[in-house]
Amino acid sequence: MGSWSRFLRSPWVLYLGLCSPLLLVFIPIIQGEVEYYADPAKYLLEFFGKAAVILFILTMAVTPLRQLFPKAEFTKALAYRRRQIGVSVFVYALLHFLLYLPYVGSVSAFVEDWDKLFILSGLLALALLMVLAGTSNNRSVRRLGGKGWKRLHKLAYVILALIIYHQAAQEKTGFRETLVYFSILFVLEVIRLFRYFKRRSA
């Protein structure tokens, strides 16, 4: 293994990459950004929601990237660290959820919101992310068997649909922003499908 590849797979790159949202969140606070000081809970809720979505897209992009660029060191390192990146999605989504109470301001408002489809989709996505994070270890792979584990982790596609709905249901820029975020994944999946059918017809 080359030094570039060792660098990309090193725990330092992983920890720095996964903790970067926790560091970046301080920038607007230090810069005195109005949006943060107007409503810190809202700002942090949105920030960690976006961090969870970006990391989720990265996790989902691993398979198409691996098929498109099988020899690229970056792709190999991503595949090597996929489980840890997946667990970090759950951690950021949990932070996003924990900020929901200060955001709505009271427990009663918190409970009242739970029948909204937009909130339900978020809750279900978080519950499923917890299942995947809880089984992202070697012991679970052994217990479930390779095939069973892979089948369980296909739940990621259900989570994908729930998150797309959850983000797109935002009142103002939700749909446009969701389109921008997920279009990268969409393009990768379309190329992957196109190559698959081309191979089959050859």
Pick 64 or 86: Cβ nearer ligand HEM? 86
CB of 79 to ligand HEM, least distance (A): 21
Minimum CB distance to ligand HEM smaller for 43 or for 135: 43
Query: According to DSSP H, which parts of the chain are helical?
Result: 3-9, 11-24, 26-30, 34-38, 40-68, 73-80, 82-98, 100-104, 107-112, 117-134, 138-152, 155-168, 174-201
Give the Cα separation of 145 and 139 in Å (integer). 10
Looking only at residues 163 through 202 of this chain, which bind ligand HEM when binding is defined by CB under 6 A?
Answer: 163, 166-167, 170, 177
Task: Tell me: does residue 125 bind ligand HEM (CB under 6 A).
Answer: yes
Torsion sign, CA atoms 84, 169, 189, 193: positive
- Rounded-to-integer distance, Cα 55 and Cα 18, Å: 8
Among 65-73, 116-124, 130-138, 183-191, the segment contacting ligand HEM (CB under 6 A): 116-124
For position 149 contacting ligand HEM by CB under 6 A, the verdict is: no
CB 121 within 8 A of CB 165: yes
Nearer to ligand HEM, 93 or 132 (CB): 93
Q: Residue 51, interface with ligand HEM (CB under 6 A)?
A: no
Point out which span in 19-27, 51-59, 141-149, 194-202 binds ligand HEM (CB under 6 A). 51-59
* Closest to 92 (Cα-Cα) out of 18, 178, 164, 162: 18
Tokens 């570039």 sit on residue: 4
Q: For ligand HEM, which is the closer residue by CB, 8 or 126?
A: 126
Nearer to ligand HEM, 8 or 167 (CB): 167
Minimal CB distance to ligand HEM: which residue?
122
Q: Give the Cα separation of 55 and 6 in Å (integer).
A: 22
Which residues of this chain interact with ligand HEM, rule CB under 6 A? 42, 45-46, 49-50, 52-53, 56, 93, 96-97, 100, 119, 122-123, 125-126, 163, 166-167, 170, 177
